[in-house]
Structure 1
Amino acid sequence: MLPTITVDVGTTSVKTCLFDADARLLASAAAPTPTRPDPWGEVYDPEALVGVVVAFVRGLDPALRATVQRVAITGVGESGGLVRPDATLASPLVLWHDHRGADRLAGLGPAERTRVYQVTGLPVNANYGLSKIAWAVEHAGTGADGALWLNVAEWLAATMSGERWSERSLASRTMALDLTTRAWSPEVCALLGVDPAVLPPVADATHGAPVTAAFAARAGLPDGVAVHVAGHDHVVGGVGAGLRPGELLNSTGTTEGLLVLADAPRLDAAAQRDKLANGLACAGDASTLFASIPTGGSAFATLRSMLGLPAEDLSARIAVLHDRYVAGELDLDAAPLVLPQFRGSPPPDKDAAARGIVAGLRTDATADDVVLGCFLGMALQYRDVLDLFRVRPERVKVIGPASRNPLWLRLKADLLGTPLSVSGFPEVVSRGAQALASGTTGGWAANDPVDVAVDEARHARLSRWADDVRPRWEHLRAYPW
């Protein structure tokens, strides 16, 4: 490995790390992702975002800073903005869940939507970049002359290097990339009136560009540092986890991602109906199949707000509930049935307007009942999305905040009857970014994994409960928003 500073631009936080040549984590920090509202939705604060990176680098011990050879940037998959040749912005830098431009998708008919999926491997949805690109070009007018659309991670790399390019796992989240040719699709771009000339050259994560002298001086970086765009955070997490064919990565952050590797995209009618997202790996020839559950680790914050609990109190309750569940002391039927669509619904509906539902509250319901119901609902939702893949993974590797939630992990393992291998290392995505910038791969053993085994008696009990609530569960899922 090469000594690397990593930057992970997430939905709620920006994580920065320094790894040495042995992939040891020497320093890390997290800051709230700097965003601000604008008249159309929510955008990044560009200067504040660069400031987070510079402050971390400047805060390192000078002796450590002098060893750095690479900067590797990863982040959310569908954000971005129009970037001029001098790396200034010709449009706002739009967040992934901002739906400006969605009206441009409304006119697409069934045949056109099928064609989009056949070419790009993505279901038509305003989360993806293409409708945002159409909106940005229209609103920028002549100010967009010479500008290219870059993801937020790619824009940071352009700011550091002066070079504009798109990393291919991120390019495959725009709904503009042909997965067969691995080039931009003029056909799909034309459906939204987008000129493919606004899209940058595509490279894999092994491509690096020298950091400019100006940025090196600003951040205090040594000469000769190269910056890499590592790729889509969930896919980069797969690299850090040493993901192999036949395995599933359960990547948990604000959202929850399910990711498998494949030899080729799955572009059949069933995959389109289930709204599974195909993509490209950060390096190598593999394709990816991905599904995102909008509510993941963010459920913790939702429960805190809903129940008025401090973080320490909620964590303690979760630990106690876990122990009582393992001991067989919990009455599952006493918990309300919670459909945890607090941030929208996952595939196959994929509806940003969907909301969570808590059903079956009784007069004696407690905060613990609601907490248990929420994580039972999240386990059911995970099961439903996993079923869309139509394969049972040989192994499930879990990374992210779920690794610190024993109840969530145990319920998943027992409901599915599948053991989990859970990372004990908190920054698997960042470690994957270092590996990609170093031209190598990650390994699971380095992440101190812990196995969560399946208890057959609990599996049988939880399966009976899931069968009993299925009619009500399906009723809640069908609620019209």
Structure 2
Amino acid sequence: MSILALDLGTSSVRGLVLDEHARPLPGALARRRVSLAVGADGAGTLDADVYLARLAQCLDALADGGHLDDIDLVATSAQWHSVVALGAAGTPIGPVLTWMDTRPEPAGGQRGPADPDAFHQRTGTWWHRCYWSVRLPWLRRRAGGHATGFVGLAEYALSVLLDAAPMSVSQASGTGLLDLATMGWDPEACALAGTGPAELPELAPAGWHGRLRPEYARRWPALAGARWTAPVGDGAASNVGSGCVLPERAAVTVGTSAAVRVVRPVVPGGPLPRLAPRLWRYRVDHRHVVTGAAYSSGGNLFAWANRELRLPGGEELDAALARVPIAGGAPAVNVCFGGDRPPGLTPAGSGVLRGLGFGTTSVDILAGLMRGLSELVAVDVTALESESDSPIEVVLGGGAMVASAWWRRAFAAALAPRTVWHQRNPEVGATGAALVALDRIGDAVRLVDVDRTDH
């Protein structure tokens, strides 16, 4: 048996095939970049139908290579927080808002939750532009009354391909409208959003499976009998794929953006641990929650510096970074180039570089950006430790961590004296989604291979 793992990210769509132990098979990978539309006003959007076409191209490429012939199960890791308004025909009205979009704001005079702390404990979120409680009224105003429903990007794409596409509790938790304990839509959050169950996706029960629609089963006959599982939020999947499924092990994942998270098992329907004020909490599945903090900056800092600062390339860049001290020797920075993630409200365009001189090089600036994010994450690891009964160790993962040994060392310095490990697999999201689909979250620590960070 093989597993097809889909990763529906912000900058790309990927499909890869894994064996029954969630290990990637050589050469069985297809990737298509997607174009994120960003604007000076804080826009960060995707075209839903273009995105769906890129996903189909990945499946075509895997089929052409003969990689889909033994697929029994399809698992999906998908971006949290995205939303698109649908019209009467079930087609998108306008683009998809991604987590990067900082434009939504409450209407004038609208009041938030009656008890903000109780709301935070119940939903794991805040009344914030990142969540549907603020996004849906804003989208409805822009749609001019034509919106009849709202879905995430994953639910829209899968609703076209599958016979049904209910929303997983993991994806629903990222909307900010889910009561994490009851795993149903929260009445107060829905009231703030001006919506109700009739306009929201159906919630997938535990163990849900879907099948391809007949027209797509004909296009990819090898997948005709495959069982599709409900998507897992990308952050939760990355934790599982990094082997971080115990409260004493945190995952720091740096892809396009970055986050630090801890997964813990919980009893379905039972009480949840109290949540620290600066942290969010979402669902991995019906038996696990994930707690953490996220940042709008990550690998996009390197992409910006590479584009604008004429950095050297390859081994020359590695050698230049090696000459920059891990502590000191680079500008001080504020890395909020894309604004704050919840609960912060700093707008996009708030990045700052300080301490520049005529001797400052482009590599010094890059090092300052990387160190700035590392130090920001270290603050939130301390907050996560307040919820743990034992010291936390950290596993670094994601494409940016694979690419930069200097950045791994900067994280190790910022997180000292904690033990810091490095996850070498760049596809932690897809691997984690496969382990969740296999109901093998508890095996992640044993199956995932990590190394001590090269200090």
Shorter-chain TM-score category? 0.7 to 0.9
Partner SS, residue 194 of structure 2 = coil
Alpha-carbon distance in 2 for matches of 1:83, 1:209? 22
| 1:256/1:215 CA distance change after superposition, 3 Å | same
Q: Give the deviation of 1:167 after TM superposition.
A: 0.8
What is the identity, as a one-letter code, of the residue corresponding to 1:421?
Answer: W
Shift of 1:164: 3.3
Deviating more after overlay: 246-255 vs 377-386: 377-386
Cα gap change, 1:22 to 1:105, in 2 (>3 Å)? farther
User: Shift in Å at residue 439 of structure 1?
Assistant: 3.2
C-alpha distance 362-90 of structure 1, shift in aligned 2 (>3 A): closer
Partner of 1:176: 177
**2:435 maps to what in 1?**
435
Residue 479 of structure 1 is matched in structure 2 by none
The aligned length equals 439
Partner of 2:14: 15
For 1:96, the equivalent position in structure 2 comes to 99
Tell me how far apart the structure 2 counterparts of residues 428 and 41 of structure 1 sit (CA, whole Å).
28
Distance 1:443 1:435 in 2: 7
Moved more, 6-15 or 33-42: 33-42
Find out whether 1:281 has 2:284 as its counterpart.
yes
- Equivalent in the alignment of 2:406: 407
Aligned-pair CA distance for 1:447: 4.1
Q: Which residue number in structure 2 is paired with residue 229 of structure 1?
A: 230
3-state DSSP class of the match of 2:262?
strand
Q: Which runs of 4+ in 1 moved over 6 A?
A: 37-40
CA distance in 2, matches of 1:358, 1:136: 34
Aligned residue number for residue 360 of structure 2 = 365
When normalised by structure 2's length, the TM-score is 0.86
Rounded to whole Å, the distance in 2 between the matches of 1:96 and 1:331 is: 31
Q: Deviations over 1:311-338 (max 9, x none)?
A: x25x63245423x46xxxx495442212
Alpha-carbon shift at residue 173 of structure 1 (Å): 1.2
- Does 2:354 match 1:351? no
Identical residues among aligned pairs (%): 25
Give SS of 2:67's match.
Answer: helix
Distance in 1, matches of 2:117 and 2:171, equals 22
Equivalent positions of 1:260-299 (< 5 A) are 260-262=262-264, 263=266, 265-267=272-274, 271-272=276-277, 274=278, 276-282=279-285, 284-299=286-301
Q: Deviation at 1:423? A: 1.2
Check conservation: 2:85, 2:94, Cα contact below 8 A. Answer: yes
2:335 is equivalent to residue 335 of structure 1: no
Equivalent-residue separation in structure 1 for 2:356 and 2:407 (angstroms): 21
Q: Which whole-Å CA distance do the structure 2 matches of 1:42 and 1:412 have between them?
A: 28
Change (3 A) 1:217 1:319: farther
SS in 1 for 2:10: coil
Distance 1:170 1:331, change over 3 A: closer
Q: 1:113 to 1:239 in 2, by over 3 A?
A: same
Q: 2:24 is aligned with what amino acid?
A: L
Residue 304 of structure 2, aligned match among 284, 302, 305: 302
Greater gyration radius: 1
Q: Is residue 122–residue 181 contact of structure 2 (8 Å, CA) maintained in 1?
A: yes
Q: Which residue of 2 aligns with 1:66?
A: 69
- Alpha-carbon offset, residue 196 of structure 1: 3.2
Q: TM-score, normalised by structure 1?
A: 0.82
CA contact (8 A) 1:248 1:259 kept: yes
Q: In the alignment, which residue of structure 2 is the partner of 1:376?
A: 371
Farther-moved stretch of structure 1 (169-178 vs 376-385): 376-385
Q: Does 1:122 align with 2:117?
A: no
User: Amino acid of the residue matched to residue 386 of structure 1?
Assistant: V
Mean Cα displacement is larger for which, 170-179 or 62-71?
Answer: 62-71
- What residue in structure 2 maps to residue 394 of structure 1? 392
Deviations along 1:27-47, whole A, 9 cap, x unmatched? 112222244579994432223
Alignment correspondent of 1:249? 251
**What secondary structure sits across from 1:190 in the alignment?**
helix
Once the two structures are overlaid, the 10-residue window that deviates more, 94-103 or 395-404, is: 94-103
Alpha-carbon separation, structure 2, partners of 1:415 and 1:209: 44
Distance in 1 between residues matched to 2:446 and 2:88, nearest whole Å: 42
**Structure 1 residue 350 displacement after superposition:** 4.5
**Could you tell me whether the CA contact under 8 Å between 2:374 and 2:414 is conserved in 1?**
yes
Q: Which of the residues 130, 135, 139 maps onto 1:132?
A: 135
**Structure 2 CA distance for aligned equivalents of residues 9 and 59 of structure 1:** 16
Distance 1:239 1:415, change over 3 A: closer
Alignment check: 8 A CA contact 1:105 1:124 kept: no
Query: Does the alignment pair 1:423 with 2:415?
Result: no
Higher helix share: 1
Q: Call closer, same or farther: CA 1:425–1:446 in 2, change over 3 Å.
A: farther
CA RMSD of aligned residues (A): 2.9
1:321 and 2:303 are equivalent in the alignment: no
1:153 CA displacement: 1.4
- 1:160·1:227 contact (CA, 8 Å) conserved in 2? no
Report the alpha carbon displacement of residue 58 of structure 1 after superposing the two structures with TM.
1.9
Residue type matched to 1:373 in 2? G
C-alpha separation between the residues in 1 aligned to 2:254 and 2:429?
11
Q: Which amino acid aligns with 2:434?
A: Q
Q: Identify the residue that residue 49 of structure 2 maps to in structure 1.
A: 47
Instruction: Work out the CA distance in 2 between the residues paired with 1:204 and 1:237.
Output: 22
Q: Report the secondary structure of 2:92's partner residue.
A: coil
Question: Alpha-carbon deviation of 1:54?
Answer: 1.9
Task: Give deviations 1:425-465, integer Å, cap 9, x for gaps.
Answer: 121111112222233335245443221166xxxxxxxxxxx
CA 413–98 in structure 1, closer or farther in 2 if over 3 Å, else same: same
The 3-state SS of whatever aligns with 2:107 is helix
Q: Distance in 1 between matches of 2:109 and 2:396?
A: 36
Write the letter of the residue equivalent to 1:356: G
CA distance in 1, matches of 2:159, 2:108: 29
Distance change in 2, residues 1:443/1:86 (3 Å): farther
1:78 is aligned to 81
Structure 2: gaps spanning 5 or more residues: none
What CA distance in whole angstroms lies between the structure 2 residues aligned with 1:153 and 1:33?
14
Q: Is the 8 A contact 2:248 2:393 kept in 1?
A: yes
Q: Is the 8 Å Cα contact of residues 136 and 194 (structure 2) preserved in structure 1?
A: no
Residue ranges of structure 1 left out of the alignment (5+ in a row): 455-481
